Structure 1
Amino acid sequence: MRADGETTLAVGALSAGSAERREQWRHLALLLPALLALAALFVYPLLGILFRSFHKTSYTLEFYRQVFRTPVYLTVIGLTFRTAAIVTLICLALGYPLAYVLATVRPRLARALVIVVVLPFFTSIIVRTYAWMVLLGRNGIVNQYLVALGLAPAPLPLLYNAAGVVIGMTYVLLPLMVLTIWSVMRGIDPALVRAAHSLGASPAQAFRRIYLPLSAAGIAGGTLLVFLLSLGFFITPALMGGPSDVMIAMLIEREVEFTLNWSFASTLAVVLLVLTLAGFVVYNRLVRLERLFEGRS
């Protein structure tokens, strides 16, 4: 009887193991189309860019040496990261209060405000950029109001410079910051803040010690998303920036379209990718993203 019981247990374990393997293969089969599409549309082009950065007529590192030996390319890379950082900070400063309002007002009003936030996505980015060019021009509405209200003695240069680039990029990326932070804030239990108030905490103390830490995952996700997208921005800087506001995406476009130097353009793209990944590693070390998102879950 004991041998029969052991045999039954062994057979059950084998059938359970085979069922688990079949389930794993079924999951893999469901993922296979997505994996093939990812390999064809992302991995293969990325490997092609990496290959071209090392090879033109033969294998060489000359393009990488050219990037780091030429001051103008280093200046463009620095300008790109500086602009991305400024846009990210402005989006955070404007987006956090708006996300807080969305998370704390009545649901019906919150839905209406979310529609307002999402509405710009239904318009082409080129159309929105040209609209801002009209608004920020010397004879645009913004300058007319500034002069009429006495806030400026003459029309301000708000276009074709760094200010125009920052304003345009902030407008485009601000909804992403708002939605990312709001998605975390809406999951925060209001009872926690009320409990802090009942224990004698002031509104500022409750916000600083309860609400802000709980929304830190949204801040981390929003800033990371906006910063990474800012690094590759092309249309807005190209239309609203001046000759001294060249970002690396614009430099890559010029190498491809005008000089037809695909190898050097690929080198610039690889340098941007490596620097972005290095920045992400540093950001992760400072912010500890895994702890934030584990805390959220």
Structure 2
Amino acid sequence: MDIQIQWFPGHMAKAKRQVQDALKLVDVAFELLDARIPVSSSNPMIDQILGQKPRVIILNKSDLADPSITKQWQRALDRPYIKAIAVDTIKGEGLKEVPRVASMLVAEQMAKLAAKGRRPRAIRCMVLGIPNVGKSTFINRLVGRKATKTGDTPGVTKGQQWIRTQGSLELLDTPGILWPKFEDPEVGYKLAVTGAIKEQVFDIYEVSLKLLQWLAEYNPEKLKERYRMNELNPEATKLLWDIGVKRGLLVSGGLVDESKVAQLILKEFREGLLGRYTLDLPPM
């Protein structure tokens, strides 16, 4: 699975410095991951950068992930200074937990400040995550208004800004420059099927074939139901063709428009119409 994206060490070093400088200003970090791919949607330097800084891991898009595996991930990620929350930023589910958990993680630190006679203040939080994981929507939901530009194009956020929420938090947004590392082709594939990277940089047809093969093995009944088929062709190329015929995605001469079928499969997978799946499994 050849996905043409470069991981520039120089850019990563700059991103690391920016985050480390900002860390001095914050009490807790919010790390956004895609609940369907918690490993593939992370930046490999985050653990090193954050160290034991209190951290809330936001498993975003949890409405599209397998709920039982999301619970396993929450247990696997749990540390004394790390708590994971399953969130759906589009519907706002799970967001009420965020300020509560952040307060719990920094309670001791805030108590020390109070003991020194410091006045109570908002909890300062930094929002981290790779492009297109949902940082802007997450911030807008917490703030209760359109505080940052949002979009489904990776890399919408361009600069740093502090934003006050309606509650007890102040948020520092960071540019979406913490890219994942693409050395493992499986990581690239998972980012492609979940929509984390632009479709111009990978072969949509090849990615959709691999996804279709996996879906046919993992949950054939859902595919049959969605595309109204009695049987699934064991060959992914022929199965994609059959779906094209069923959906009427044809070109002149009655041939299937394979590109349109590939786009349809990816779109319906990303929207949860083919089922709720988690592609990265937690350690046993």
Using structure 1 for the length normalisation, give the TM-score. Answer: 0.23
More relative contact order, 1 or 2 (CA 8 Å, 6+ apart): 1
Using structure 2 for the length normalisation, give the TM-score. Answer: 0.24
- Larger Rg computed on CA atoms: 1
Write 1 or 2 for the structure with the bigger share of strand.
2
Write 1 or 2 for the structure with the bigger share of helix.
1
